[in-house]
Structure 1
Amino acid sequence: MNLVKATGTIGGLTLVSRIAGFAREMLMSRIMGASAAADAFLVAFRLPNTFRRLFGEGAFSAGFVPLFSQRLHGEGGMDEGKRFSEEVLAVLLPTLFLFTLVFELAMPLFVAAIASGYEGDKYWLTVALTRITFPYLLLISLVSLFSGILNSLTKFTAAAFAPALLNLAMLGAMIFVPVGGVRTAYALAIGVTIGGFLQIGLLWFAAKRAGVSLKLKRPRMTPGVRQFVRVVLPATFGAGVYQVSQFIDTFFLTRLPTGAVSYMNYADRLNQLPLGVIGAALGTAILPQVSKFVGANDPKGAAKVQGQAAELAMLLCLPAALALATAAGPLISAMFQGGKFTAQDAATTANVLAIIVSGLPAYVLVKVITPGFYARQDTATPVKTALFVLAANIVLNFALIPPFGLYGLAAAISICSWLNCVILYVILHRRGHFRIEGWLASRIARQLLAGAAMVAVLLLVKGALSGFFAGSVGHRLVGVGALIGSGMAVYFPLVWLIGGMDKDDIKALLRRRSKVTSNDAG
């Protein structure tokens, strides 16, 4: 499997989902604004999503994919992999049902603890909305099981496209109930759960087409399940530490003035575009590859995959972070300002975006580094690192939020991303599993040089088109288009000329695409 090609497939389809997500957020900002109902829904959406990252995507994938891959490529082949998947499903499904039921019953207490700043109608609206959205956790965790199977079979398409169905379901909810306020908030919550059903339907069908049709069995603690639990529990605790920091962020957000949750949400939407398209795609693509090399006792091969992934990550992530920080105001204004979302709302959101994207490269690099631990079934080290970063996050929140408010919280997020990245890299380096070689450091330095030139051009263009960014939506979109075009026109040719990328990999990718296009045309 070619890393660039796999990342391109996953990233391209993830981009489709992100575009649908942008359309969702653009419509939501205009219909809901930065209102109390918007804040309530966003907290209700944030809570199951936090658990999704804990169980469904992070810890589950880290434990399931390497173990499934071992069986798939072992003597038992597909039959053994399928048996292992059915054993895990038999235990996972009732566990998820019980977990969901407990939280549905205890939702008032849970919301009171997490969103302690909400009172009265806003509090009870958040409770009601979270009860509607919470089953999404169960559905998306099952999606992660089937995604792990398909990704291990190097069939990335369905899993990468599935998130788009959630965005489409939520778009549909706002189209049918466009009045704003509480009614649209309820429609959005229902859309979340419908989106979960659509996703599991797509993944189940894709797995069946790939020859993997799982049967429901009686739950049993088989040797395979016990091995899975031994691997996934530390990863769950590690991811849990990170998610606790997300709950802490939510706790502080809900104690800030109305609109804080909305501002952070819209800023994070732009921040998540490169995170999802680049970070998640690379992490998904390299874990099976690193696992394969580690299983074959080829540490140099595993390190090479991680080095190539780091190069590709920075090639795409550095310009994204620099451009988002430089053009935060015009981007937020063009995307979200309008209707109930005012110019002042857009300005506050832009400031938050400019702060949080400073941690974007670190967050993406963590996606490249952590497979070096997970492929070796070492989930304890990321746990210890996450505990330290959690403590730092709490200290930073208490230190920065009182004087700086929402901006202090954004700064704490960015600082902790870099802290996590540096610690994990140092540990992997000391163990001799992965290090930044001279060739990689040289290319990243050249990428930074090209990025600096891009920033200079963006500042010139932003100043020259200042009138466009203060005009109508159409004028703002034209201005943003000019900014994006000028930035790409400077960065990518320059990084190519000064040797900031592997030209052979890019040429090979272009030749494959040209061949595919030629075959399609014929």
Structure 2
Amino acid sequence: MLSSPLMLRSVMTVGAWTMVSRVLGFARDMLIASRLGAGPVADAFFVALKLPNLFRRLFGEGAFNAAFVPAFAGTLATQGRANAQALAERMGTLMTLWLGLLVVLGMVFMPQVMQVLAPGFTDNPAKFALAVELTRITFPYLLFICLTALVAGVLNGLDRFAAAAAAPVFFNLISMATLLFLTPYVATPGHALAWGVTASGVVQLALVMWATAQAGMALNLLRPPAVTTEVRQVLKRMVPGIIGAGVVQLNLAVDIIIASLLPSGAISFLYYADRVAQLPLGVIGVAVGTALLPLLSRQLRSGQALSAHRSMNRAVELALLLTVPAAVGLAVASGPIIAALFQRGAFGAVEAAASSAALVAYAVGLPAFVLVKVFAPAFFARGDTATPVKVGLGAVALNLGFNLMLMGPLQHVGVALSTALAAWVNALLLGWLLMRRRDWVVDRRSRRTVPRILVAAAIMGMAVAALGWLLPAGAGSVERALVAAALITAGGTVFLGAGVALRAFDPREVLRMLRRRRVPQAAR
């Protein structure tokens, strides 16, 4: 319950550390932009960072936690700490063996992997060799961070949230420290960052291992392997999550492959733009989607079909209420926002303009990305995991087709726009299937509210555009930050006023809905 002191304390702990991590993440990206800019070294490093992260998201974190944490918590509650610890150690051993082998193979065959992931780099032998070398340095991070996810799941099962929530902070801190202090001693700043990535994985794993020992459950991750019934159940439950995550990661891999074929800097421009677009997507999409799945599951199991329809409609309204103005604001003010965040040092006005153009394209798809996270739980709650995966695979094929059509005339902006268009097809098809099955019926309130949200966002967009035209372009970092802050503040104020005037939403009801959604997100 929300009134539980333990739950409130957990929410505050996770929320505080998450905010710290996000702020430091932007500080890290600002530092990278100032030191590396958007040249060949930056492109090579971002590919080196992307590859272990693709596998991390595939085998660790979401898919693994969704299968492991309930099994660990259930074993802890019914069979005691010793059996729960044994389950965690057996899973840790299997993960160490499997991912250790994957890391070794990846490092040995990295040139071949790079030819597939970044084929465009082969035209520049020096850039290709640098990407291979940096990725070999970062690839062990995959093993460390996936084990960190496992141990963090144990901590969450023990109601210990601080260390797991604080661990990502060290990724940002160590990355910045190595870039600042290790660069003079290695070949390029990219090498310093790559070593920082792997070092941060070691530190994060050490932190959560220490925390489990403090909690009275010191784990031995080299325990002799044994595939017990509980282990098989966890592995079986991981399969749908891995397939679903694989669709998303395949989309990201397609974007990297296409961007590598474009002129130098394209991968960097997309990275910086995506980092800005991910802020509202990560906060809103994860929060709404995470809260909706258990709610729909309970309502459907209880035979409350009408309540399930009502929950879907309110979730769609909330998602659009938060993402449409964010998308319009990012699109209209993309230039000042990118300039305020990244334009300094090696990242000049040309690089800022290229990244802001990509941000406009990503912003087009922002509501669709979040709607996918709203619609997918409606299938999952009914036991249908296949349909979202099939639709997602179709979106991957569309993304590739759009990329091939748009990469020529629009360059890197075409890659971002292709991702946005594929996301809209994905979202609209999922929504259409739900309506055709009568699993989602748009009620009178949504038919009245959603158009008013769109009108309020349009008014906000025109106001921000007019203010941006009136304000002078900032010559220095402080001036650029002030311009961006003024546009963001004005946009939020205008949207709030227009939304209330049009009766698009009731601020008090929105606050109540947001408070209800904090609990499931923090308890992950």
Shift in Å, 1:223: 2.2
**Which residue is equivalent to 2:521?**
none
Q: Deviations over 1:44-91 (max 9, x none)?
A: 011111112222234323433555566677x55877765544443332
- Alignment partner, residue 141 of structure 2: 136
Contact 2:376–2:388 under 8 Å retained in 1: yes
Cα separation, 2, equivalents of 1:156 and 1:301:
32
Aligned match of 2:55 = 51
In the alignment, structure 1 residue 392 sits paired with structure 2 residue 398? yes
Change (3 A) 1:101 1:285: farther
Instruction: Please show how residues 58-457 of structure 1 align to structure 2 within 5 Å.
Output: 58-65=62-69, 67-68=71-72, 76=79, 84-118=87-121, 119-149=124-154, 158-177=163-182, 182-207=187-212, 214-216=219-221, 217-286=223-292, 309-374=315-380, 378-430=384-436, 433-457=439-463
- Is the Cα contact below 8 Å between 2:474 and 2:483 reproduced in 1? no
Rounded to whole Å, the distance in 2 between the matches of 1:343 and 1:493 is 34
Shift of 1:386: 2.0
CA 182–489 in structure 1, closer or farther in 2 if over 3 Å, else same: farther
Q: Give the conservation status (yes or no) of the 8 Å contact 1:235–1:383.
A: no
Q: CA offsets per residue over residues 289-341 of structure 1, 9 Å max, x none?
A: 65666677777776666555444433322222111101001111121112212
Residues in 1 aligned to 2:12 and 2:305: alpha-carbon distance in whole angstroms? 25
How far off is 1:127 after superposition? 0.8
Which region of structure 1 is more displaced relative to structure 2, 307-316 or 102-111? 307-316
Corresponding residue for residue 44 of structure 2: 40
- Relative to structure 1, is the Cα distance of residues 499 and 400 closer, same or farther in structure 2, using a 3 angstrom cutoff? closer
1:177–1:183 Cα contact (<8 Å) kept: no
Contact 2:90 2:226 in 1 (8 A): yes
Distance 1:267 1:349, change over 3 A: same
Q: Distance in 1 between matches of 2:297 and 2:272?
A: 36
Cα separation, 1, equivalents of 2:293 and 2:217: 21
How far apart, CA to CA, are the structure 1 residues paired with 2:462 and 2:36?
36
How far apart are 1:204 and its partner, in Å? 3.7
Check the 8 A contact 2:37/2:346 in 1, yes or no.
yes
2:480 aligned partner: 476
- Between the aligned partners of 2:245 and 2:449, the Cα distance in structure 1 is 31
Q: For the Cα contact (< 8 Å) 2:331–2:363, is it kept in 1?
A: yes
For residues 25 and 17 of structure 1, the distance between their equivalents in structure 2, rounded to whole angstroms, comes to 12
- Normalised TM-score (structure 1): 0.86
Query: Aligned in 2, Cα 1:9/1:360: closer, same or farther, shift over 3 Å?
Result: farther
- Deviation, 1:213, is 5.1
State the SS of the aligned residue for 1:117: helix
Q: Counterpart of 1:170 in structure 2: which amino acid?
A: S
CA distance in 1, matches of 2:375, 2:212: 29
Would the aligned equivalents of 2:29 and 2:342 in 1 still touch at CA under 8 Å?
yes
Check whether the contact 1:318–1:448 (CA below 8 A) recurs between aligned residues. yes
Asked if the contact 1:7/1:281 (under 8 Å) is kept, the reply is no
- Tell me, yes or no, if the aligned pair for 1:235 and 1:382 is still in contact at 8 Å: no
- Percent of aligned pairs with the same amino acid: 39
Aligned-pair CA distance for 1:270:
0.6
Q: CA distance change for structure 1 residues 125 and 510 in 2, over 3 Å: closer, same or farther?
A: closer
Q: What's the secondary structure of 2:119's corresponding residue?
A: coil
Cα distance in 2 between the residues matched to 1:300 and 1:263: 46
Whole-Å separation in 2 of the counterparts to 1:368 and 1:23 = 30
> Which is further off, 267-276 or 161-170?
161-170
The Cα shift of 1:185 comes to: 0.7
CA distance in structure 1 between the partners assigned to 2:514 and 2:229 by the alignment: 42
8 Å CA contact 1:231–1:379 kept in 2: the answer is: no
> In 1, Cα distance between the equivalents of 2:309 and 2:94?
34
Cα deviation 1:9-35 (Å, max 9, x = unaligned):
756643332221111111111111111
1:256 partner SS: coil
The equivalent residue for 1:490 is: 494
Q: Secondary structure of 2:120's match?
A: coil
Show structure 2 runs of 5+ residues with no match: 519-524
Alignment-mate amino acid for residue 194 of structure 1: A
Cα shift at 1:472: 1.7
**1:350 positional shift:** 0.7
Residues 104 and 134 of structure 1 are in contact (CA less than 8 Å); yes or no, is this contact kept in structure 2?
yes
User: Is the CA contact 2:183–2:191 (under 8 Å) kept in the aligned structure 1?
Assistant: no
Q: Tell me how large the CA RMSD over aligned residues is.
A: 3.5
Partner SS for 1:219: coil
Contact 1:11–1:281 (8 Å) recurs in 2: no
Report the Cα distance in structure 2 between the residues aligned to 1:286 and 1:164, rounded to whole angstroms. 28
Deviation digits for residues 327-372 of structure 1, max 9, x if unmatched? 0011111211122122111111111110111111121222333344
Q: Is the alpha carbon distance of 1:63 and 1:183 closer, same or farther for their aligned partners in structure 2, counting shifts above 3 Å?
A: same
Name the SS of the counterpart of 1:370 in structure 2: helix
1:486–1:79 Cα change, 3 Å: farther
Partner amino acid for 2:131?
T
Count of aligned pairs:
509
- What secondary structure is seen at the aligned counterpart in 1 of 2:23? helix
- Tell me which amino acid in the other structure corresponds to 1:242: V
Structure 1 runs not aligned, ≥5 long:
514-522
Alpha-carbon distance change, 411 to 261 in structure 1, aligned in 2, over 3 angstroms: same
* Equivalent residues of 1:136, 1:193 under 8 A apart: yes
Cα separation, 1, equivalents of 2:328 and 2:185: 34
Hey, what does 1:519 align to over in structure 2? none
| Gap change, CA 1:204 and 1:447, over 3 Å in 2 | farther
CA distance in 2, matches of 1:502, 1:478: 27
CA distance in 2, matches of 1:493, 1:330: 23
Indicate whether 1:28 and 2:68 are aligned: no
| Residue-by-residue CA offset, 1:192-216 (whole Å, 9 max, x unaligned) | 1122223333444555566665454
